[in-house]
Amino acid sequence: MVRETRISVDQLVYPMFVRDGQGIREEIGSMPGQFRISVDRLAEELQQVDDLGIPAVMLFGIPDEELKDPVGTPAYAEEGIICRALREAKQQVPDLLLVADVCLCEYTDHGHCGLISQTPGESPGVDNDSTLEVLARTALTYARAGADVIAPSDMMDGRVAAIRRSLDAAELYRIPILSYAAKYASAYYGPFREAAESAPQFGDRKSYQMDPANAREALKEVQLDLKEGADMVMVKPALPYLDVISRVREMTTVPVAAYQVSGEYSALCAAFDRGWLQRESTVRETLLAIRRAGADFILSYFAKDVAKMIREGNWE
């Protein structure tokens, strides 16, 4: 009766990986229990998510390797992997909320989140401003294909404003933007990069993702994205940045999301497999910690596990 923090199924978003091909449901080696799924097998997975009462999924696309190019063309192709997945999902499971991740790392042959430029005599780097047009085009393509929410994760400065202008010009005023506003250059993304086949081919992403040492900077990033038109903001990763979630929650009234990322998931799964931690109670405690810090909803690869525990009465 007096419990301060609670978890319900409708606070969960389930991340999913959709890849080119036919008849594919392949387990991800570093993420036990998670799969890359082809579009023709997507409906059965989405139906399971919907049946569990989980309200939303986040879709990440994995195009065939030979389709990738320096400017991420497969990201905004109308017959690209995400657009096909969105249309299939909307047709087969119309009540499920579809959140489309907008980034270029899965679609570029260099694996970076933006376009690359190089000044003579200097190392190549991401060109922030030239990337904005591609991100806006990608977001518009996804919205037209059926995305209910657009979620830019690239961390380019100005991308929320560029996406909002693009959506509004197409009279898609009601499509909200969930901005990865405070996304850190984290060591916890390793399993995701294997899953999405998106590891950078040179350098790293520290020039555009946030320094793990900085918390005040996160508040600045959030403020900038809100001014540009973000409807919701996200902190990523979750558990190592509970203080940031809390400070973001205090500074804004918009919904705040937290992403319990692949490394958090995989580390816990390894501990569960070795018997070092008890699965149900540990998952419950970690999600409660994220909610207690101030997250309104959580993206988690444990979402289906949690929904089953709640349904079966094994959550309390």
Q: Of 220, 227, 236, 308, which residue is the catalytic one?
A: 236
Question: 90, 183, 220, 227: which is the annotated catalytic residue?
Answer: 183
CA end-to-end span of the chain, whole Å?
12
Tell me if residue 220 is catalytic: no
Q: Where are the alpha helices (DSSP H) in 149-261?
A: 159-169, 190-196, 216-228, 242-251
Tokens linked to 183: 């996304």
297 and 12 in contact (C-beta within 8 Å)?
yes
Residue the block writes with tokens 């400065």:
157
Distance (Å, whole) CA 151 – CA 164? 11
Evaluate whether 241 touches 295 at the Cβ level (below 8 Å).
Answer: no
Per-residue b or e along 101-124, where b marks 16 or more CB atoms closer than 10 Å to that residue's CB = bbbbbbbbebbbbbbbeeeeeeee
* E strand map for the chain: 12-19, 25-28, 31-38, 56-62, 97-102, 116-117, 125-126, 149-152, 178-183, 232-236, 256-260, 297-300
- Active-site annotation holds for 68: no
Rounded Cα distance between 316 and 313, Å, is 7
Q: Which residues are catalytic?
A: 183, 236
